[in-house]
Chains A and B, each alone.
Chain A
């Protein structure tokens, strides 16, 4: 019995060691390639990957490694000096800047794209415009019937992304709490939390009671997008590339990349390429809004 046990252990060790050996050999850096480490927001990760793929196919000597993990993780890595570029779907916080400065890092901000969130309803729903306050009241459970916002006598079914989605957090802060950081408003308990954008779209498509939100690029044409007013008196605006860029649409945010100091060398080349038309076309393809002004804006 004991002998068998020992031989089994030996076998396992043998298998592990043989399977490890070639992979560690592969991981050894090719001497000719230059590396760019890029880490951060999960919202941006697909976009960053698409850029990196395109850029690497054009520049064989450059390797870009893109990982997600969240805006906070990316910025923390930049402060620790382990990445060259940090992706963030929010602005860097003052305490992060202070921490970076004390570490000898000078974070420089680059707006690389914009992201608008569309509020969607069933095409048969007569409601086609809402104020931010009304949307906040709907999602926090103060308004529960479409009649109260000028619609039919139907219950409102609220759809949201799961709590781990950056879009969920952004929607909570910008819409439910109207950008007020002291506000403790939460999503009403009966808000349906769907695991994917697709789940929200399927439900809104077939359910006239439903209201949902999603990134502008993910919304198909057969759903109705709500026009939104920032305040009761102001005009109602539909989300589009133009209204996002002139800041008249309320639920839109900038997406950032942060570098240590003004970028130089290959990192500068890469960031310049990202803000050029070719890379900004990919932005539109993936459903984000292209950044209109190229160059860094600290």
Chain B
């Protein structure tokens, strides 16, 4: 009896340990694979040609700048939609809504998060894009802005879910303290609860951005995929081509081992590095905030 218990424990601890380490292993393997397939780009394509503004792979024009700016402008727009909406919803659910409303809202938001993005893409192409074309009097409704709205919608549930948990974890005593000092409800939320939950809220925002920049299907369906360099804010209302959509649209047909194939992996590398940058920025902000909090408390 004793012996079999030991056996169980031995296996289970090892399994848990292995699954923990496997995450590191997988990230390392994926990155290694991306680098291995992407690095030949540098010997096959001149760097000046990579920094060109024309993406037309079948005639060997591999300017990736329009794709990078395309991804950035769509993600930026999505962030502008998802952050205020997401945080606002989280505050409402956690701080203001009565209990029964909260119990309906939270599962609904989570259900929204489970919607396949291709379904939202359909809505975007059939409803949102025609509406925006008429409403904003644009030449076409397939623009970066349409993509931003959809991506914002996709990222909102992520932001709400994480931010609401963070707000919920703020001890009740903080709020009661603020109320005892005569603060209004708004002052309590804005000056006490939100700053106390800051690291969780920041994580929520970063996760939301990560969700937005990596999203492919919905973006490919509604942004028009024209590789135009986005230089001004007005580009938000014209078609763009994102890095993810480029990889998804072209990878299926490309001859493996060709220059085009290597460049697509190179784009994957750039995308990976951007997400890595966002994550590092987020955790360093959270880390600094934690240190400061420790200093104040000690």
Residues of A within 8 A of B241 (CB): 193
| 10 new A-B contacts at CB < 8 Å, known A164-B249, A190-B226 | A154-B139, A162-B225, A164-B253, A186-B54, A193-B224, A199-B125, A202-B126, A203-B142, A206-B130, A206-B141
Verify A157–B140 contact, CB threshold 8 A: yes
In the complex, whether B87 has a CB less than 8 A from a CB of chain A is no
The 20 listed contacts between A and B (C-beta, < 8 Å) are: A4-B11, A4-B14, A42-B253, A155-B139, A157-B139, A162-B225, A163-B56, A164-B252, A186-B59, A189-B228, A192-B226, A192-B239, A193-B225, A195-B221, A206-B130, A206-B141, A207-B133, A207-B140, A207-B141, A209-B139
* Cα distance A190–B235 in the bound complex, in angstroms: 11
In contact, B250 and A163 (Cβ under 8 angstroms): yes
Judge whether B54 and A189 touch: CB under 8 Å.
yes
Neighbour of A189 across the interface among B125, B227, B249, B254, CB < 8 A: B227
Please count the residue pairs between chain A and chain B whose beta carbons lie under 8 angstroms apart in the complex: 75
Set of chain A residues within 8 Å of B125, measured between Cβ atoms = 199, 202-203
B58 at the interface (CB under 8 A from A): yes
Interchain CB contact under 8 A, A192 and B253: no
CB nearest neighbor in B for A210: B140
Interface, chain A (partner B; CB < 8 A): 1, 4, 42, 154-155, 157, 162-164, 168-169, 186-187, 189-195, 199, 202-203, 206-207, 209-210
Q: Which residues of A contact B220 (CB under 8 A)?
A: 195
Report the separation of the CA atoms of residues A72 and B80 in the bound assembly, to the nearest whole angstrom: 47
Q: Which residue of A lies closest to B131 (CB)?
A: A206
**What residue of chain A has the Cβ atom nearest to residue B143's Cβ?**
A192
Chain B residue at minimum C-beta to C-beta distance from A42: B253
CB-based contact A169/B58 at 8 Å: yes
- Residues of B contacting A164 in the complex (Cβ-Cβ under 8 angstroms): 58, 249-250, 252-254
- Interface residue from A4, A195, A203 paired with B140 (Cβ < 8 Å): A203
Report the interface size for chain B: residues with CB under 8 A from the other chain. 34
Q: Which residues of B contact A162 (CB under 8 A)?
A: 225, 249-250
- Complex interface: chain A residues within 8 A of B225 (CB): 162, 192-195
Interface assignment of B238: CB less than 8 Å from any CB of chain A: yes
A75 → chain B, closest Cβ, in Å?
Answer: 15
Q: Are B224 and A163 in contact (CB under 8 A)?
A: no
| Minimum Cβ distance to chain A for residue B242 (Å) | 12
B40 in the interface, Cβ–Cβ < 8 Å?
no
The reply to whether A209 and B140 contact each other, CB–CB distance below 8 Å, is yes
B221 near A199: Cβ-Cβ < 8 Å: yes
Cα A168 to Cα B11 in complex, Å, equals 57
A163's closest neighbor in chain B, by CB? B58
Q: Is the CB of A192 within 8 A of B224?
A: yes
Complexed CA–CA distance, A195 and B226 (Å): 11
In the assembled complex, which residues on chain B have CB atoms less than 8 Å from the CB atom of A193? 224-227, 241, 249
Q: Considering the chains assembled together, what is the distance between the CA atoms of A55 and B125 in angstroms? A: 39
Query: Which residues of A have CB within 8 Å of B253?
Result: 42, 164
Q: Given the complex of chains A and B, what is the CA–CA distance between A225 and B129 in angstroms?
A: 23
